[in-house]
Every structure is written in C-alpha cells, then in structure tokens.
Structure 1
Amino acid sequence: MSATAASEMVGRDAELALLHEALRRAEEGQPASLLVAGEAGIGKSRLTTEFRQRLADDATVLTGWCLDYGSTPAPFGPLPAILRGVLAELGERADDAAGPSRNALQLLLPDPAGTPLDRSTVHPEALGETIANLLEAASSIRPVVVIVEDLHWADAATLSMLSFLLRALAGRRVLFVLTCRTDEVRRGGAVRTFLAESERARLLERISLARLDAGAVRELAVGLRGPLDDATIAHLVQRSEGVPFFVEELVCNAEGPLPDTLRDVLLARFDALSEEARRTVRLASACDGAIAHDLLAAVSGRGGESLDEALREAVIAGILTVRDDESYAFRHALLREAIHDDLLPGERARLHRAYAEAIQAAGGAASSLAFHWYQAHAPEQALRAAVDAMQQAKDSYAFSTAARFGELALELWDQVPDADDVAGIERIPFLARLGSILRNGGDAERALTVATLALDELDPQTAEPAVHARLLRDRALYLQNLGKTGTVESLGEALAVLDGSPGEDRLRASLLNYLSGRYLTSARLTDAIETTDEAFSIAQAAGFDNAMSVAENLRGCSRIHLGDVDAGLADLRLSWQHASDHDAQLRYRVNYADALHNLGRFHEAVEVAELGVAHSRRLGVERATGSVLAHNLVEPLIELGEIDRAEEAMSRDLALRTLPIFRVYSTMSRIRILVWRGRMAEAARLLKEWRPVAAAISQVERQVWFSLRNVELLVSLGDGDPTRAAGVLADVIEDRGPHLAQVSRLLLEGARVVTDLRVDGRQALADDTARAVAAAWNARPEALRIPHWDTVLTAMLSGDATALNAALPVVDNDDVPAIFRPVLQLELARLHLADGDRAAAAEHAMVAAQYADALGHRPLQQRVLAFSRDAGLARVTRPGESVGAAAPTELTAREQQVLDLIAEGLTNRQIGERLFISAKTASVHVSAILRKLGVSSRTEAAVSSRR
C-alpha cells in the first residue's frame, strides 16, 4: 500500500507551543534557542516541519542538514543551505550586511562569476563573523528561525560555528532550533561536548520528545488508515512502543502478519516496490541527505522516463522525499540505514565506487570522494581524496574537520605503495601539517602525538635542519598549549639543530622569541631579556619587523615585572612601531593592556584593550579574535568596579576553548565576578573543578600560580574566613619562587585580610600578617610600589584613624581598586565605634553602604549591614536603604569639590571626568551631599552651595 507520513501531527501540541514561545522570546531580544532531542523516529523533524509551516510569513526560516558521511563528514555541512536562504532574504542588501569580510563567504559558496578567493585577505575567524552579520541583518526585517537537522552527524567545524553563532546572536531576533538523536551521541564525543557546554552556558534549552501514549498511537494510526479494531491498536502500541515512525511503518503493513524485527518493518515497504524502484532506492542509500537528480542519474547509468518512474514510485511509497525541487532524500534516516546495510559487501563496494567515479567526473567535493573511495576499499584513491579534503577544510578554517580527514589519510598511508607520490606530499611534512591542524582544531594532545611521531620517524642525519627545527618548535608549542613541561628544552634543541645553518635567520629569531616567551611566563625574567636581545639583533639584521616587534614586546613585559617600568614601557612603544601586520599589532595591545593593568593604570588598560576590540572590528572578527581582546578588559574593569561591563566582556568569550591554557585565565576571572556577586557556592564549585588544572599549569606558567592564589584569597574573604585567606597570603609571601608584577596587587589585598582578622578577634594573627605584608611590600621594587596603593595599604595595616582619614581622598582615584572605597569607610566606622563616637561610626557606615551598593559587591553589602545592626546603629537596614537620625552636615573636601561642580550644572559623568573618578563614585558623593544637606535634588544642592 502507498503511504506517507501522517498529514496531521499527533501528540506534540505542548512541544509545538514551546517552539512558538521561544520564538516570542527571541522577538523580544531574549536568548531562546532550543535543542529538540529524542531517539530515532520520535518525530523531531516532523515537529520542526509543522513549526515551519505554521510560521507562514511571520518569520524567515532557514534550514540546513548535517549529513552522515561516516567518520569524516564534510565541513560546515548545514551552512551552505542556510547561507543561500539568508542571502535570498536580504537580496541587494546582502553585500553591505555581510561586513568587511564578505569575501569569506566564498569559503562555502563559490563566487558565481568564478573569481578565485584570495585567501590572504580572509582572516581565519572572518567566516563566522560574516554569517552572524547576515543573520543579524535579516532579523532586522523579521524574526529569523535557523533549523539545523540531525546534529548528531555534525562535523566539528559546524559545532564550532554553532557555538560561535549561539553566543554572537544571543539577544538578537534569531531563534536556533537544533534536532539531535541524543541517544546516538557518544560519550566524550564532540557533539556531546558541544551540547554539555551549550546547555551549561544556557545557550540552549532542551525539548525532549517522549514516546506517544496509547491514545496518541490510536489517533495517529486512525489518521493514517481509518478506523481500526482494538486488537490491531493494541498490537500497534505493543510493537511500536510509541515511536511515531514505527507506528507509521507498522500500520501500513497491518493487513499481513506484523514483522518481528525493526529491520523487517523498515524493509517491508521497500520490498513492495518494483524491481526498478528497488534498484534506484538501493543506489540512493549510499548517500545520506540530499542527492542531486543528476548524480543519481549518473550512478544509475540511466535517465529519462525510466528513472523518473522509479523515483516517483519511491516517493509515492513514502520512502524518498523531494527536497529543494532538484534532489531527493530518504524520509527517515533509519530507512536508508536499513537498505544500505542490506546490501552485500561486494555490492556495497561497487556502489560506492560508482558514486566516487561520478563525483570525480563532475569535479565534486574531495570530502565526498574520500568517503566513497574509502567505502569502496580503494585506498589509493581514498588517500589522495583525503589529503585534498584535509587541505580544503584547512583552507576553509574548518580545522577540526581537516584533522579528521588528515587522520583518515594517516590510517591509509601504510596501505598505499608510494604514498608520498599519491598524496602529493612527503610523510614528514604531512605529519607536520596534520599536527598544526590538530592544534588549531583544539586537540593539542593529538597534535603532540603526531609531532612526536614525526620526530621519531625523522632521521636527524639526513633531514634538513630547518625541517627538524620546525618540528621541535611545533612540539614545544603543543606542550605549551597543554601546560606541560618540556617546552624550553624543545626550543633549545631546535636552536641547537639550526646552529650554523645559513639563511635561516628569520626562523632563528622566531625560535628565540618563542623561548623568551616561555622564560617570561615562567618568570625567568633575566633569561627572557637576554634572549629577546639576541632575537632582536638577528631580526634587525634580517629586516624582520614582526620579530623585532615581538622581541621588544616581550622585553618590555619582562622589564616591567622586574620593576624597570620606564624602560619596559619604552620597549612596548617600540614594539608598536615595528608591528607591521595585524597579528603583531593585536599582540602588542594584549600585552600592553596587561602591563598597564599590573601597574594599576586601569582606565588606560581598558582604553588599550578597547582599541584592540575596535581593530578586530575593522578586520571583521570582532566576535571572534575580538572576544579574546575583550577578555583583556575584564580584570581592569573588575578593579574599577564596572562589573556589568566586565560580565559583558566575559560574554564575548565565544569559542568553545578546548585548550586548558586558554580556559584557565578566563575561568579565574569568572570566579572573581561570582565572588563579587555573592554567588559563593558557584565560585567555590568552579574553583574546586579548575584548581587541579590551574595547579598543573602553574608549574610552567608562573602567572597562573599567582592568579590561582588570588582567587583562593578572594573566595576565602567572600566566605567570611580571613584566617584561611591569611594562609593563602602567607603562601605568597613565603614562596621562594620568582615574583611577577602581580605580587603587588596580592599584597594590597592583604590589607583586607588584616582588617577582617581584627574584626574576627584574631588580633595576634592580624598583627603577624600586617608585619609580613608590610615587609614584603617594602621589599618590592620601588616602581612596583604604586604610590596610591602604598598610602592605602600602609593606612589599613596600621589601623590608625588619622592615617585612614588621610587615605580617603586617595582611595577615590581610579588607579586604586574600587573595592577599597567601602572597605576603608567600614574600617573607619569600626574604629570610631570602638572610640565611642557612634555618630561618626554611623556616618562612615552609611558611606560604606552607599559605595558597596554602587559597586554591587554583595559580600561587602552584607558585611556593612551586619556591622550596623550588630553595633545597634540602625542606620542601614538593607543594602541601598538608609534610615535614622540626620547625618552630620559637614562635607568632606572631596564632597565640597563635587558640590561646586553640581552648582556648575555638571552631570555625574562630567564630574567624574573633571575629578578623575568614575561616574559611579561621583554618584556616591552626590548621594552623600544631598543627604548631608537635607535636600532632595541637585538643584536644591546647587542653591545651597550658592548660599
């Protein structure tokens, strides 16, 4: 009997409502993307089809399919169809909407005019930025729904792109709907990792499709066949187990005995076809997804009416469906799998060979050729196609997919005589290229394995020194990415191999710079400077500007960490002058922003990082490379108390980073923000999860050691445990390892540890800690004892009210971390209360509360509230609310300055710019002035000032 899928969807009203609700939220600018999950045959595609049909003209719907090409899927499988749809939607506006890197689209959609792509003009991350620009532009016309079917077959490049787009377009009028057979996603696989990361980051909400109950099975079966007796329905319920696809297949064979196995169920309708139709369907089973009519005709060796009739019969029988008016696909993947698996081994190999020959004759994709030649047991052709597919995927920056083709080629290599000639590349260079691809794809462990294999196979006696040195360099970089030891040794060996080789000055200069970078991160600062001096001299003689820029950059950072700040900053300025390409310029901005942050020049650090973000925007990679630069904003923004902006910058970390060395830094900043927000359980959980990783990496990355100590100290203070914090601080002070500039900021945090110890009644420990901190501070290089930090630290360690009062104007400067504004006020409140001056204590507690509220620092808000309540001041009832007697009317010197500017009509931002303080700090002063003067508006305050 002929049949198709049920015309009316059954049992999915609730799930359909969730899809429409998600679209409504997306229209309102809320992140709302969905994962439709369920087993094979459960109705995922049926649900998305119904959703698409009901949208009509209310939204632009773009659909792409992930294809099952075995272990080596084509890169970016669903994206071409999605791109063609959005380009059609935008029409003439598409070119402008694509942005500065519009030519990156040729990586997926070749230029119709045949113009070759100049890859030197395309940044590796520009493709994602361009696609995001197009979807964002289309969403300004009407909401956009992007449906990606069969995510369980997605290649790594597609997963990486989806991860990027989900983050880049969160909050836009774009809804992503991904369907996936979650029961077929293997543990530890790329799809499982993508889903776990996306759901944990709340980028995807899951809709799980359950099996139909007996009532829904009856409704579906009756809709397909008409009235059925209870016995037949009961049999359907039992056999189908509520899977809609099985119900459809079984009910179409209800007139005969019901098959015992699913395979028989799936093949029953196929067996009812004519011989010609069965032959055609068998041919089609070798291709998943859409198969073009012309390709099917070429493989079948026939065309015209004979092929059309066979295809028409298969479509009417509900085995094939017409897609895009020019191709065919199986109605369900299980059908294709069952028919393909039913082929005899020799028959299957011949079929794949026929496909490979037809695709090759038509100049088709190397990825398809690699798959079909491999399935045809033709290792020579498969090797050649796999190497070509690897290179094509690499050229499209689909590194993870390129790696899978490369590993397929590696598997085939030993099966092919004269493999070097067949592949068009010798084995050692091939391994070097594969290692680089694996590293860029995020698999540094596998990259290290491949590089080690290449070095094991290389004969040092006959190999070219440059080839040998580059392999050693690669191994060093992969070890570095993994945070493992051995990097310095590998680079030293590479330099030794290159010693005496003429014409390799550029490579030698680069190796020296890599070595200097390792010395810098491990805090071997003198070695770093000596190495960069040598690198600079060689690069200068060779006219290699970029290597000169890197050498000056690294030398400047090393000098700053040693306390030779002026010379270090001068080196960094020279680094900019020699940065002749975008990579060197962006690297300069990354390191210069970090140096400024370490020196307490927080506003300048933010400005430099923002220039880097703007630079990445001009290159068309703002959401990609720009996200790394945006993360450089996070630490100085935290110090300035701009936590909302810091969280926004954190959200730009769009890629799913698999290399621990990259993720550990952003994780430490994330913990700091969680502590600030008072989300201590999350902070502690994240610290516990990442401490082993950070501890391992800190063996080779000294700055990670200090970063880990910093968050441990902050979590301890946030938990109200200054004793534990004092222990962390003691570890830093007593550590005999080399110190970096970060130590100064950690010692400044010691002031908070000492004051909290005093509050807890741990006076002896407080005194010991204060002496230790003071001694360590005074032992720092003078240029790293930042003057305003010195004033605040000395005052807080002394516990003297006069010194603390003298520090009040200093703490308002933006090169002092904003956290010390409420901390200093609270300490003064405690001292005044101890002296019996309750009015002064209440005044300082009130200002501390206002500062803590303005900063949104939840632990400090709670501490100020607890202090005021325990002291019986009753002036602060909860964060942000004040009650009680009028405060003293005398203004501080800073408040008088602010009042004068209020009288001039300046806004809070303008006041901040005039006094070199933040707008939030100015707002706190304005609130205090209004309260002290007993007025309710800035106008009344201005009038009072004139009086």
Structure 2
Amino acid sequence: MKGLLVGRAAELARLARVLESAADGTAEVALVGGDAGIGKTRLVTELVAEARSRGFNVLVGQCAELGDTLPYLPLADALRGAEPAVRDAAAAHPLLGQLLPGVESAPPAGLTQQRLFGSLLGLLAEVQPVVFVIEDLHWADRSTRDLLVFLSRMVQTERVCVVGTYRTDDLHRRHPLRPVLAELKRLPSVTHLELGPLDSGEMSDYVTTMGDLDAQELGVIIARAGGNPFYAEELFAAVAEGDSLPDGLASLLMSRVEVLSEPGQRVLRAAAVAGRRVEDQLLREVSELPLADFEEAVREIVSRGLLRVDGYGYAFRHALLQEAVYTDLLPGERTRLHADFARLLTSPAELAHHHLAGHDLAGALAASAEAGRVAERLGAPAEAHSHYDRALSLWDRVPGAAELAGESRAALAFRSAVMAADSGDNHRAVQQLRALPLTSEVSERLAYYLTELDDQDAALAAAEHAVEAAADQATLARALATYARTITWTARHTDAQDLARRAIETARAAGARDAEVGALLILAIHAEHEGDIARALSLAQTATTEDTGDLAMNLRARFHHGRLLYEQGLLAEAAEVADEGIQLAVETGLNWSTYGTDLRFLRFLIHYVAGEWDQAEAMAAGFGARVGTRPEAVLSSFALFVEVARGLPAVEARLNWLRPFWSDLLVAYMSRGVAAEHALWQGEPAIALEHVEAALATCEPGDPGILRLATIALWALADLGQVEGADDLLARVRFAVETGPVGQRGQMGPEGQAWALRAEAEWHRVHGRLDVDLWRRVVAAFDYGFVYEAARARWRLAEALLAAGDRPGAQSEWEQARETAGKLRAAPLDNALSDFGRRARFTGGQGDGSLTAREIEVLRLVAEGLTNREIAERLFIAQKTVSVHVSNILGKLEVSTRTQAAAAARTRALL
C-alpha cells in the first residue's frame, strides 16, 4: 500500500488528525474532492485501515449514477456491508432495518427524514467509535445530500468521523452538490481536502512502484498520465501486457477489457449495465452462465483488477472503467441487459431506471409512479416530483396508464405539482395545476401558490372558485383559509378576518387542522396590524404548537411566529423558533419550499442584526452566489447584507448572478437596496439612487420596506449635495409609518421605528442640518439589539456632536462605533470612521491608532499565536501581505514584538 500513497502524505496526515479528533470525542467531517482517478478512494482506504486498527467500526456506502431516484442508497449500502454487530444494532431500529437485505424495500407509511435521521444518530451513538464513508457524492440523491448536511451539523460530541468523496470534474456550474459543499466548508467541524495532480517527480516515484520500466516507457507514461495515478496505472498495465499505448482513455480502458475471455467480457458488460456495483446473485442471473463458468469468469475479471469483491457482490475498480464498458455496448445489447435487470429487481427507482433504458415504457411508468410515492413518504419532494413527471411524460405512450400508475393522470399530476412546490418550484407547480380540471382542491392550491408568486388577480379568481366548488367541509375549510390569505394584502383586507373565523369554525368541525392553522395565522397578521401584538404572538404560538399533518403548513406557522418575534426585537426567542423550523425543513426535505427558504433568510437576518456576523457570513456562503432558481435568488439577495457590510469581494459576482432575477419583487427589493449601500460605500451615490428608485418601484404605498430604501436614498442625496426629491422620500416614509400597507397600520416594531427616525435625521442632513438630539434618538432606537445600525448611527451622531462643538462627546461616540466596526469586521464602516477620525484629528480611540478592520483581524490571529504563514492560510492572503500588516500593527501600537502587540490588544480590549 505504501506505493499507492506517493505524494499524499500531507493529505493522509490531515485525515489522520480528523480521525484522532473523533476518537477523542469531537465528531468530525472530512470532504475529499478531486478529478476522477486522482486517488480519493486510495486515500480513504488508507484512512479506513487506520480506523480499523484503532478499533473503529467502519461503514462504507457508495452513491450510484441513478440521479435523484433512489433515496439513501449509500446508507443502505453501508448498512448491508457493515460488520454483523453493526447490522444487528441497525436491525434493532425498525426504520434502519428497512434498508437491510431481506427486508421489503418500500418504507412504511409515515417514514420521514426526521425519524430516519434520528434512528441513524441513535445507531451511531451505539456503535461508536465509527467511521462513515460516503463515496462519489457527485452522484448523491437529494436525500443523501440532506443526510450529509444533517450529520455535519448534528454529530458533535459523539466519536464519529464522516468522510465524503466527490469528483470535482463532475461538478458543473448547476450541480446540486455545489451549494452543499459551500455550506459545509464553512463549518468548523469540516475538513476539506482537494487532491490535485501529482508532479512529475511524484509520478515517477509512483509508477516505479508498479514494476520495472525503461526510461523511455517511464517518460511516456508520465507525460501522458497528466499527474493522474489511475491513468498512470492503466498506461503501465498496457505496457506490461505488451500492448501499444491507446490513443484515448476509453480505448485504453477497453484494451484491458478486450483481453478477457468471452465469458469474462459477457459478465463485465452485464456488470456495467448494473452500474458501479452489482450483487453476485443478480449478476449471475443476468449473465445467464452456468455457475462454474460464471465463477471462473468473475475470478478472471477480479484477478485482472477490473472488478473487486465488495460485500455481497462486486464493484468496478474505477467508475471510468464502468462508463467505458457501458458506452461500448451495442444498442440492442444494452436494451436487452436493462430489461433483464428490470425483470429481477424490486426497488421502484431502480426498476424505473432499467425499464426506461430497456425501452419498456409500461414498466417504466408503473415503477416511476411507485418510486414517486416512496420518495414522497421518505420526505424527498424533489425526487418524488422527478419520478411523477417521468410517469406523466410516458402517459400518452402507454395503453392502460391509469391502471399501471394506480391512480388517474389528474391525481398523479396534482401530486407532482404539490411536490414541485414543496421542493421550491412554485412556477412549475402552477403550470401543472393550470393544466388540470379546476376542482376546488386544484383551485385552492393554485390560489395558494399564485399568492406566493405575487400574482394577486389570478390568485383571487382561483380562491373564489375554490370556495364555490367545495364539495365537503374539509375542502371548504382549506378554500376559505386560502381565500382569507389571498385578500389579506388587498383593498378587501377587512373581509379577511371574517373569512378566517369561518374557516376555523369549518375546519374544527371537519378535523382539518391544516386549514385551522392557516386561518389562525391570518388572524395573527391582522392582530399585528391592528396593534394588538400580544394577541398576534399568542395566535402564532398556538398555530406553531398545532401538528397539522401538513409539513408545509407547520413551516409556515413557525416562520410567522419567528417573524413576529423578530419584528418586536425579541431576537433570542425568534432565533429559537427559526432554528426549530429550519431543522424541521431539512429533516423533511422541504428546505427549498417557500417557508423553508423564508426560515433560512429569517435566521440569517437574526444573526446579522444581533451582530453574529461570522455565523451570518457562513450562512451567506451556503446560500450560493450562482443562482438558477427563484428561491436561490431570494437567499442570495439576503447574503448581500453581510458581504456588503464587510466589503467582501464576493459582492460583485453575486450581484451579476442576481440581475436576471430583478423582475422578481422580493429579489429586486432586497438585492437592489443592498446594492445601493454597496455603491455608497464605493463613493458612487448616483448609482445608489438608481438602485433605490428601481427597488422603490416594487413597493406599494405604505409598504414598511419603504423605510429602509428611502433612508438609503436620502443618504445618497446628502452625499450628492442634492435636495431635489428629499421631501417626496420623507413623505413616503411618513405615509408608511402613519397609514401602512392597504390602510393597515398598527404598532410598528422597534426596527421600523428606528428606520423611520433615521430617515428623518438623513432628511435633515440633506438640508445641511446635523441634528444632535435626533441622531441620539436614532442611536437609542437601534440600540434594541441592532448592533451594526446602532454603530452607523453613532458615526453620524459623532459628526453632529463635532459640528456642535462637543469634541469629547464626538470622540466618545466615534470610539464606540469603531469598536463595533472592528468586532464585526465591517471594513467599509471602519474605513469611513477612520477617515472621519483623521479629519477630526481624534487620537487614541480604541487605543489602536488607526488600525483597519483587516489589521484588527490579523492582530486577533497574532494574539492566538499563529505564524505569518498560518495567518495567510486562514485569511486566504499572501504571506508577504501578512508581514506588511504585522509591521503596520507594531508601528501603530508602538510596540516592538508580536507578544507585546498581543498584550496591548488584550489590555486595550481590541479582541
């Protein structure tokens, strides 16, 4: 094994540290990426061997190239291949037992991610210490990706090490694994390794461990392998067997296959159709060889290193080999083999895959419909929608489709639409519903989703029809609740409460808990806008504690409860509710549904407002900048808050990706408003005004969102020295405060009150007046817990105090603002404060001279004892740049050593 690790000693050492940490009781996750054939599996194999030697139980699961069709395949694979003691422990958990051999593969009704993940946590705790390896995450189904995120966040003090491998060359721009990796890499418990190609010296060492070669042969292999160990192995094997070097990798791989006997090639072709792995009995039956001949063929294949023995079957030594053999099959041969596998398999997802590849459309339709129902029960809506859509796409080509699917086309399409919405694609849900006969149920869902898409007129028409067409009490209750929701933000809002009360009465009589909770939330919103906050919170809390049986409704209740708490400045309570909702969304596969998304941006805002910016930045990185859907764009818009406030380089790229989504009201409102702040920090107030005017165009008169936007616009006018337009902006602010949306305004929360005050203060600044008392009120208003905005208000208060002649008061406010900016690493604000301090000729301040936010960041790491090289790695900057920062810090603090700088930092409360 030693030769296989040439050039990977550093990576293995890092993985060994991860393993050691897990052994000591701190759960760890390692992600190993690299191109196909670069050595990921070899590296992990060494880690597994080390783990076994330390007494770890080992679980190894393999993802398959089946797309989002077979939830939890690597988990099932790992359990099936585990040691007997681990399998026995898994069998004691009924939900995990379903994944073991000999048990019916379809899970029982009611199985959700929450219960399955809980069972897995229990198992890991029982068999610890344990290493759980998930290979080829680039092929992972959505539920497996959710499982990886869940384990990364939930295992903490257990002696558990989770290792995942993935191909970087398979991660195209829209690959679903990308945002997952971005999210996980930000977690402190996650170690990320990306294996690059070996250099020529390492390749030379590696190739020579395989056997003797002359200098010319060695040179050719190194030149053609491109630093890829697998390519080098294949090239070496071709040379060792006396073959000429193939022109391409496919030819290279197939040259190894073609030396097999005819039975051996027959078995290998069948294995390629099965996928990366195949069970022994299944392969034997499809190969249709006598037992003795089959075993001899397999022995030949294994001896040549093309397949390896793996648990109950065999696995291709490398995925590229399986792909090459599969591609080389004749069309008829491929079809026949897929049909043979379909005849023998029982998993609906696998059946659908093989039936479709084998052109058995009837079988594919039936299996796809059943696979969709299985995925739906597992809490995997994206996979369920994909299966249902596949069945629907085959419907008109298959006689007797309804009998094969087990339900009508309309019923299946309705299921598919709901699953599309649950996975975050409301547009697709609406498209599918509009193609169906407009029953009350269809119209109710249509109204519900259209409301979320802000298509008010169409939503209202659908909601009215849903009420008119209702055939029973439960259906009527849901229709009434949705109707009330649809008109809440229209001129007919006064009718909504009566409709909601009627919906509650009808729902209670019919036992429709989801409709009851939906109506309770409408009443909570109206109580909020009538100023009865206590009643609004009580109604929302009641809605949250109800188990509706509708997961999407449960999330909606948690979002509105958390939002109400947030808007009243109760940040800790709001965070608790939001965290509970996010956990529920992740565990049930609804994290991209409307309220799964909303809960995540609410949690981000709580971090942002509370000054927990490292957590906010970690969430922002997980949101992903390269957006392709509306939910992704919404989250990405919120990520701009902390990135703009910290002056991060990711801002421009994120804005470029968001521009195509500026037709969406929420995305435009959020992203263009923050883009205006970015322009102001860049000294471009005219561009800031353009953004604000576009964002204001998305707001109805009285919309509370006007407060922040108008304030930013007034800031821009003040920087431009332009008075025109200021009075209109202030009038819009006052109308929003006094009247509210569609004439509804109750008690405004602390953040709204603070923004309204700041708008007044900025209006005075536009007119050349720095009102000390007003800016004091702004500081006090934001000081309910909005850390950043309180600091920005102190900046303006310091300017006003200095202009009024109160120099000590101005410096005091300036010092407090600088301290906050340093702690938050709010570089633009810190730079503005530094500039103001220089012009005001302030001295001392925090006791840091004029340290920039970056210098404070470097100083913190110096105080931790890190070297310049380690600081450079941590901050992703050049070591020479760190050296310059350290020199500046020593000069500004008037000290001569790093130790003295650290001591000064602690004495002066810089850390």
Give the TM-score of the pair, scaled to structure 2: 0.75
How far residue 354 of structure 1 moved from its aligned partner, in angstroms, is 3.3
One-letter code aligned to 2:10: A
Q: Which residues of 2 match residues 639-650 of structure 1 at below 5 A?
A: 639-643=609-613, 650=619
Contact conserved, 1:75 with 1:157, CA < 8 A, in 2?
Answer: yes
Structure 2 residue corresponding to 1:552, chosen from 500, 517, 520: 520
One-letter code aligned to 1:150: D
The answer to whether the aligner puts 1:80 opposite 2:68 as a matched pair is no
Relative to structure 1, the CA distance from residue 724 to residue 283 in structure 2 (aligned partners, 3 Å threshold; closer, same or farther) is closer
Relative to structure 1, the CA distance from residue 685 to residue 564 in structure 2 (aligned partners, 3 Å threshold; closer, same or farther) is farther
**1:514 paired residue number:** 482
Cα distance between partner residues in 2 of 1:43 and 1:578: 51
How far residue 862 of structure 1 moved from its aligned partner, in angstroms, is 3.5
Q: Which residues of 2 match residues 634-673 of structure 1 at below 5 A?
A: 634-643=604-613, 650=619, 660-673=629-642
Secondary structure class of the residue paired with 1:876:
coil
Relative to structure 1, the CA distance from residue 610 to residue 670 in structure 2 (aligned partners, 3 Å threshold; closer, same or farther) is same
Secondary structure class of the residue paired with 1:105:
helix
**1:899 paired residue number:** none
Relative to structure 1, the CA distance from residue 35 to residue 524 in structure 2 (aligned partners, 3 Å threshold; closer, same or farther) is farther
Cα distance between partner residues in 1 of 2:289 and 2:838: 90
Cα distance between partner residues in 1 of 2:28 and 2:848: 30
Relative to structure 1, the CA distance from residue 651 to residue 582 in structure 2 (aligned partners, 3 Å threshold; closer, same or farther) is farther
Secondary structure class of the residue paired with 1:632:
helix
* Unpaired stretches in structure 1, ≥5 consecutive residues: 1-6, 97-101, 459-464, 883-935, 938-947
Secondary structure class of the residue paired with 1:36:
strand
Secondary structure class of the residue paired with 1:78:
helix
Q: Deviations over 1:426-460 (max 9, x none)?
A: 222222223333443445555455444x42xx5xx
How far residue 250 of structure 1 moved from its aligned partner, in angstroms, is 0.4
Contact conserved, 1:792 with 1:810, CA < 8 A, in 2?
Answer: no
The answer to whether the aligner puts 1:253 opposite 2:212 as a matched pair is no
Structure 2 residue corresponding to 1:606, chosen from 567, 572, 576: 572
Secondary structure class of the residue paired with 1:353:
helix
The answer to whether the aligner puts 1:49 opposite 2:37 as a matched pair is no
Contact conserved, 1:65 with 1:150, CA < 8 A, in 2?
Answer: yes
**1:740 paired residue number:** 703
Cα distance between partner residues in 1 of 2:624 and 2:410: 31
**2:212 paired residue number:** 227
Relative to structure 1, the CA distance from residue 542 to residue 829 in structure 2 (aligned partners, 3 Å threshold; closer, same or farther) is same
How far residue 579 of structure 1 moved from its aligned partner, in angstroms, is 6.8
How far residue 870 of structure 1 moved from its aligned partner, in angstroms, is 1.0
One-letter code aligned to 1:380: A
How far residue 209 of structure 1 moved from its aligned partner, in angstroms, is 4.2
Structure 2 residue corresponding to 1:105, chosen from 93, 96, 105: 96
Q: Deviations over 1:130-160 (max 9, x none)?
A: 546766x489x55x65433334443344344
Q: Which residues of 2 match residues 779-794 of structure 1 at below 5 A?
A: 779-780=738-739, 783-784=746-747, 789=754
Cα distance between partner residues in 1 of 2:77 and 2:53: 19
Contact conserved, 1:400 with 1:438, CA < 8 A, in 2?
Answer: yes
**Between Structure 1 and Structure 2, how many residues are aligned?**
829
Contact conserved, 1:152 with 1:184, CA < 8 A, in 2?
Answer: yes
Contact conserved, 1:828 with 1:841, CA < 8 A, in 2?
Answer: yes
**1:381 paired residue number:** 363
Q: Deviations over 1:101-127 (max 9, x none)?
A: x76535645897x8996533x444544
**1:320 paired residue number:** 307
How far residue 328 of structure 1 moved from its aligned partner, in angstroms, is 1.8
**2:338 paired residue number:** 352
The answer to whether the aligner puts 1:471 opposite 2:442 as a matched pair is yes
Q: Which residues of 2 match residues 853-932 of structure 1 at below 5 A?
A: 857-876=826-845
**1:591 paired residue number:** 560
Q: Deviations over 1:518-545 (max 9, x none)?
A: 4446797446556535534543554544
Contact conserved, 1:539 with 1:545, CA < 8 A, in 2?
Answer: yes
Secondary structure class of the residue paired with 2:133:
strand
Secondary structure class of the residue paired with 2:273:
coil
Contact conserved, 1:63 with 1:148, CA < 8 A, in 2?
Answer: yes
Contact conserved, 2:29 with 2:152, CA < 8 A, in 1?
Answer: no
The answer to whether the aligner puts 1:502 opposite 2:495 as a matched pair is no
Q: Which residues of 2 match residues 795-806 of structure 1 at below 5 A?
A: 803-804=773-774
Q: Deviations over 1:750-778 (max 9, x none)?
A: 6x956x976x5938569858964775476
Q: Deviations over 1:532-574 (max 9, x none)?
A: 3553454355454442332131233145346676775575467
Moved more, 798-807 or 629-638: 798-807
Structure 1 residue corresponding to 2:399, chosen from 417, 426, 429: 417
Cα distance between partner residues in 2 of 1:728 and 1:620: 34
Contact conserved, 2:277 with 2:313, CA < 8 A, in 1?
Answer: yes
How far residue 409 of structure 1 moved from its aligned partner, in angstroms, is 2.8
Cα distance between partner residues in 2 of 1:185 and 1:844: 49
**1:697 paired residue number:** 664
Contact conserved, 2:137 with 2:166, CA < 8 A, in 1?
Answer: yes
Relative to structure 1, the CA distance from residue 87 to residue 612 in structure 2 (aligned partners, 3 Å threshold; closer, same or farther) is farther
How far residue 602 of structure 1 moved from its aligned partner, in angstroms, is 0.7
Relative to structure 1, the CA distance from residue 879 to residue 92 in structure 2 (aligned partners, 3 Å threshold; closer, same or farther) is farther
How far residue 591 of structure 1 moved from its aligned partner, in angstroms, is 1.1
Q: Deviations over 1:715-774 (max 9, x none)?
A: 355446667667777778898824234445666x56x956x976x593856985896477
Q: Deviations over 1:836-892 (max 9, x none)?
A: 44344434434444555566654444433332321223242776989xxxxxxxxxx
Structure 2 residue corresponding to 1:119, chosen from 100, 109, 120: 109
**1:37 paired residue number:** 34
Cα distance between partner residues in 2 of 1:762 and 1:133: 64
How far residue 24 of structure 1 moved from its aligned partner, in angstroms, is 2.5
RMSD value, Cα: 5.0
**1:399 paired residue number:** 381
Cα distance between partner residues in 1 of 2:714 and 2:297: 81
Cα distance between partner residues in 2 of 1:349 and 1:47: 37
Q: Which residues of 2 match residues 124-143 of structure 1 at below 5 A?
A: 124-128=113-117, 131=120, 137=125, 142=129
How far residue 628 of structure 1 moved from its aligned partner, in angstroms, is 6.3
Percent pairwise identity: 26
Contact conserved, 2:112 with 2:379, CA < 8 A, in 1?
Answer: no
Secondary structure class of the residue paired with 2:339:
helix
Cα distance between partner residues in 2 of 1:743 and 1:316: 72
Structure 2 residue corresponding to 1:430, chosen from 412, 423, 429: 412
How far residue 286 of structure 1 moved from its aligned partner, in angstroms, is 3.1
Cα distance between partner residues in 2 of 1:72 and 1:822: 47
One-letter code aligned to 2:235: V
How far residue 64 of structure 1 moved from its aligned partner, in angstroms, is 1.7
Cα distance between partner residues in 2 of 1:806 and 1:230: 80
**2:674 paired residue number:** 711
Relative to structure 1, the CA distance from residue 491 to residue 395 in structure 2 (aligned partners, 3 Å threshold; closer, same or farther) is farther
One-letter code aligned to 2:663: A
**1:632 paired residue number:** 602
Structure 2 residue corresponding to 1:20, chosen from 13, 28, 34: 13
Q: Deviations over 1:28-78 (max 9, x none)?
A: 679873343224x55443443344445553566532222244x67533332
Secondary structure class of the residue paired with 2:309:
strand
Structure 1 residue corresponding to 2:458, chosen from 464, 489, 494: 489
Q: Which residues of 2 match residues 142-291 of structure 1 at below 5 A?
A: 142=129, 146-166=132-152, 177-183=163-169, 188-190=174-176, 205=192, 207-210=194-197, 213=200, 223-224=209-210, 226-230=211-215, 232-233=217-218, 243-254=231-242, 265-291=252-278
Larger Rg: 1
Contact conserved, 1:152 with 1:185, CA < 8 A, in 2?
Answer: yes
How far residue 368 of structure 1 moved from its aligned partner, in angstroms, is 2.7
Cα distance between partner residues in 2 of 1:776 and 1:72: 50
One-letter code aligned to 1:414: D
Relative to structure 1, the CA distance from residue 247 to residue 652 in structure 2 (aligned partners, 3 Å threshold; closer, same or farther) is closer
